[in-house]
Amino acid sequence: MDALLLARMQFGANITFHILFPTISIGMGWVLLFFRLRWLKTRDVDAASAQGWLDAYRFWTKVFALSFALGVVSGITMSFQFGTNWPGYMERVGNIAGPLLGYEVLTAFFLEAGFLGIMLFGHGKVSERVHLMATFFVAFGTTLSAFWILALNSWMQTPTGYEIVDGVYHVKSWAEVIFNPSFPYRFTHMVLASALTVAFLLTGLAAWQVLRGVGQRAAPKVMRVGLTLAALAIPVQIMVGDAHGLNTLEHQPAKIAAMEGVWETERAAPLLLFAVPDAAQRRNHFEIKVPKLASLILTHDPEGEIKGLNSFGDAHPPPLPLFFAFRVMVGMGVLMLGVSWFGWWRLRRAQWQPAALPRVLLWLFAAMTFAGWLATVAGWFVTEIGRQPFIVYGLIRTADVASKTATSGMIGVTLALYIALYLALIVAYVTVLKYMAEKPDEVLALDAAEAARTPLGAATSPVLPAGSIT
Amino acid sequence: MSWMSFDTALPIIFMALMGISMLVYVVSDGYDLGVGMLMHRATDAEKDVMIASIGPFWDANETWLVLGVGILLIAFPRAHGVVLGELYLPVALMLIGLTLRGVAFDFRVKAKDTHKQTWDRLFFAGSTLAAVSQGWMLGRYVSGFGSGWNYPLFAAAIAAALPMAYVLMGATWLIMKTEGELQRRAVQWARIAWAPMVVGMVLISMATPWVSDVVRERWFALPEIIALMAIPLMTGVALLAVRGLLNSRAVLGPVCWLPFVLLIVVFVLGFLGLAYSIYPYVVIGQMTIWQAASAPEALKVILIGVCISVPAIAGYTVFSYRVFRGKTGELKYA
């Protein structure tokens, strides 16, 4: 295989592995803040309820810590791979990408240097107000981190606000670089994707606990929060996704043509429910289509025109992966809508007691624990593969910035190592989450050990009542 | 100062920031990695205390590496490609090592007891792989990525010496943060690691001028050599003081922090010596910081963020070390 494709696969493998964990931590930070505020609100009125919120907070803090650690280690890899895989990229757009990446690093740093350590290990060592503030800043910081990185990613899709001097890109207007045409859509879409991923993770693990008959204090609350969040976020996400699609049609029509498998420019284009796009023969096999629907969805007009792949020469992305990734994402979205609304309605009818739900529904929730990951990764495949063959859309080709020194043998060997490592870590992550869900009391008992670890912690007034540990 | 000269000064500011980030990384993650490499010598209960002693810090420590490489990436984009292109394989191995070490931290406490041993082994393996790779990278970088039989030998020597330095850091960290039997064993570990580290440092100090012309010209010119002698002399004194402390019983008492602090001094001195050898190059003998730097406009935008963040980061780091100061107690599982 050629070095360019291997380099792309390596970067793609790493970025795919990386995005799994920020997707969880962005939304989870705010959910943790919510759990904590609920505990503060209920602890003087309803001890049993407060205990449930506290259990939820402490259990999910551990999930957050694990996800954050995986995000950090895979993020470090990325900061190196820019240089090892795409040395020409920073040479040419460094003046734009540099500051944006710099702010992302500084923001993430900001968090890790102070707040995260205090949030995770500071129980009983700092005042409650400081601890609450630390939790807020961790949530805020993960979101701010996403802001910077999505500004850069969106700029690569829809570049504006730059000028080129001797082949090197310089900033003309930072406002135009950051708030480039696709940024508001992509940022909102990603934050909602994170909310949905977290919502289904909460619901799924809580359902698993109910099925196993453990964690009964927290599971009903967690499932209610998860399903409510999902039911609220999914319709908004579908609307934002539609708006994002229209934005893409305006700025990156080749991406849309590949997503929809449209080869020739046509009016009243049918929506392909299924097809196998064939880039070699430049046609589709096995089409199942609904007349005029693609034009209706994309242009909001049944007779609207959609440009075909053939009108872009070779400057279009490969249709096969886009076509399927897009359908996986949309399919997951529709499934999420059905499951969250039906599930929320059933849970409400069961007076928010998940134990009263039919077991098949609990199994469905558990099966969808990582549904958000699937939809998010499929969505990123659409947007990132859809930018090819460019690294900065319409301006710089990926092939022109690839490393000239790294041989395909070297990239191939390291790619195999990375993939083996990432697969093992995903298996370990899912296994540990399942184990933690099944033994919540043991997990919560770790806090007791942590509190007992430093004599200092025992001496100052504990934030969390010692009696809360069972 | 006119704007023109400020533009010229910008790359120097970023070079200094990058250097300091790397120094803080080597010192702070150095003790983390050192503790990781000592793991296999400890009992299970001691492992828990060792991990607990670095638990609140490692994450922030590792971020200094991101900041250092980040500055290389965003302020010196041309050098980032050259340096990381040359170091492609060791970088990949280091990243795999750091990944294993980082995730083992979180997994080992959450995993089933039967899996805990596996994570502990991966913790040790990851720490060692990362430390050895970093040593190799440092060796290749300092010798300007030269080719010839002596260059890989030089890099291999540093790849062996740097982990020893980290082990010594880790052991003195444990002397400072623990008590009782573990503290006594940490003194033993430190004694064992001291000699190889010193031999490594001496070898490197002698070999660096041999493999690099630039370094030789820098150090062996009169009258600079007289002023420069302060660096190796102070390093020697600090290392001997560490040895003296390790041999006395006082190290178990109120001065338990001193060997660790003295080693930080040794690292700072080594860093100053290295900085003097390299400046103003970012790729030795090939590319100066001005040739590698981004446009001044871009550097100014980054500098604003740096001026806001770095003092805050320093403040939080101090706060965090204050909150988690003192001895790390026994970790008991309920």
Q: What is the pLDDT of residue B230?
A: 84
Q: Per-residue pLDDT for B174 more than 70?
A: yes
pLDDT of residue A466: 33
Q: Do B85 and A406 touch (CB under 8 A)?
A: yes
Least confident of A61-70, A457-466, B305-314: A457-466
Q: Tell me, what's the pLDDT at B222? A: 72
Domain boundaries, chain A: 3-249+319-468
A454 touches chain B (CB under 8 A): yes
CB-CB neighbors (< 8 A) of B313 in chain A: 109-110, 113-114
Q: Among B62, B88, B111, whose Cβ lies nearest the Cβ of A72?
A: B62
Nearest to A225 by CA among A373, A52, A63: A52
Q: Output A177 or B142, whichever has higher pLDDT.
A: A177
Distance of alpha carbon B32 from alpha carbon B128, whole angstroms: 11
Query: Where do the domains of chain B lie?
Result: 13-293
Which chain A residues are Cβ-neighbours of B63 within 8 angstroms? Answer: 72, 108-109, 112-113
CB A370 within 8 A of CB A206: no
Between CA A141 and CA A143 the distance in angstroms is: 5
CB contact under 8 A, A99 and B75: no
Average pLDDT on A383-387 reads 92
Q: How far apart are CA A416 and CA B36, in angstroms?
A: 26
Neighbours of A165 (CB within 10 A): 9
Q: How many CB pairs under 8 A join A and B?
A: 236
State percent of chain A over pLDDT 90: 41
A361 touches B at CB < 8 Å: no
State the Cα–Cα distance between residues A36 and B315, nearest whole angstrom: 26
Q: Given a cut of 90, is residue A105 above it in pLDDT?
A: no
CATH of domain B13-293: 1.20.1630.10
pLDDT of residue A239: 93
pLDDT at A407: 79
Task: Quick: pLDDT tens for B277-290.
Answer: 887 888 877 888 88
**Tokens read off for A4:** 């360019």
Question: Does the pLDDT value for residue B334 go beyond 50?
Answer: no
Say if residue B328's pLDDT is above 80.
no
pLDDT at B109 over 50: yes
Q: How confident is the model at residue A463 (pLDDT cuts 50, 70, 90)?
A: very low
The mean pLDDT value for B304-323 works out to 77
Q: What is the model's pLDDT at position B249?
A: 82
Residue A123: per-residue pLDDT: 66
Q: What is the pLDDT of residue A448?
A: 53
Q: Does residue A467 surpass a pLDDT of 70? A: no
Q: What is the pLDDT of residue A235?
A: 95
Q: Residue B283: helix, strand or coil by DSSP?
A: strand
Name the band, by pLDDT with cuts 50, 70 and 90, for residue A330. Answer: very high
Range with the poorest average pLDDT among A237-246, A361-370, A436-445: A436-445
Residue B315's contacts (CB-CB under 8 Å, 6 or more residues apart) are: A114
pLDDT band at A107 (very low <50, low <70, confident <90, very high): confident
Q: What is the pLDDT of residue A304?
A: 85
pLDDT in tens, A275-328: 888 888 888 888 888 888 888 888 888 888 888 888 888 888 888 999 999 999
Contact list, B84 vs chain A (CB under 8 Å):
80, 83-84, 87
The pLDDT assigned to B320 comes to 72
Question: A99 and B305: CB-CB below 8 Å?
Answer: yes
